[in-house]
């Protein structure tokens, strides 16, 4: 089924944009539904998992920066900076949340 959708989307650039936006919108709705069903006690481990995914994004940004010249290198550098801020900020927030659960 997915291959048929890809062939349909590849027919022209306008329909591929619509296809991409449809997948993006479905991913947003699915993500919201999954996150709202998780109990609050599991939010900290979930944040740690999302920090790991951000680390993978950082590795991808480093690879993209080294491979392509010119404007792509600038975009890769910006991606490295933003992904680093995301990873460090995520770990700081997780650390602060874990500090709240420590007994005094």
Q: How many other CB atoms are there within 10 angstroms of residue 28's CB atom?
A: 10
Q: Structural domain of residue 84, as residue ranges?
A: 40-104
The answer to whether 69 and 80 are in contact (CB under 8 A) is no
| pLDDT tens column, 3-24 | 555 555 555 566 777 888 899 8
Same-domain status, 98 and 62: yes
Do both 5 and 16 map to the same domain?
A: yes
Per the structure, the count of domains in the chain is 2
How many Å apart are CA 72 and CA 27, to the nearest integer? 26
Both 31 and 48 in one domain: the answer is no
| Banded pLDDT at 1 (limits 50, 70, 90) | very low
Q: Do 49 and 85 share a structural domain?
A: yes
pLDDT at res. 14: 67
Tell me the pLDDT tens digit for each residue of 63-100. 877 777 888 888 888 888 888 888 888 888 878 877 87
Q: Both 27 and 48 in a single domain?
A: no
Question: What are the DSSP calls for 6-75, one per residue?
Answer: HHHHTT-HHHHHHHHHHHHHHHHHHHHHHHHTS-GGGHHHHHHHHHHHHHHHHHHHHHHHHHS-THHHHH
* Cα angle, residue 42 at apex, residues 36 and 31 outer, rounded to 5°: 30
pLDDT for 26: 94
pLDDT score for 44: 67
* 32 and 65 both lie in a single domain: no
């Amino acid at each position: 089924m997915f291959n048929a959708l890809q062939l349909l989307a590849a027919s022209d650039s306008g329909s591929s944009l619509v296809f991409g936006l449809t997948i993006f919108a479905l991913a947003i709705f699915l993500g919201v539904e999954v996150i709202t069903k998780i109990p609050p006690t599991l939010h900290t481990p979930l944040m740690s998992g999302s920090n790991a995914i951000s680390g993978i994004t950082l590795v991808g940004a480093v690879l993209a920066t080294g491979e392509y010249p010119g404007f792509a290198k600038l975009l890769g550098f910006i991606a490295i900076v933003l992904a680093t801020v995301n990873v460090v900020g995520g770990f700081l927030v997780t650390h602060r949340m874990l500090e709240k659960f420590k007994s005094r």
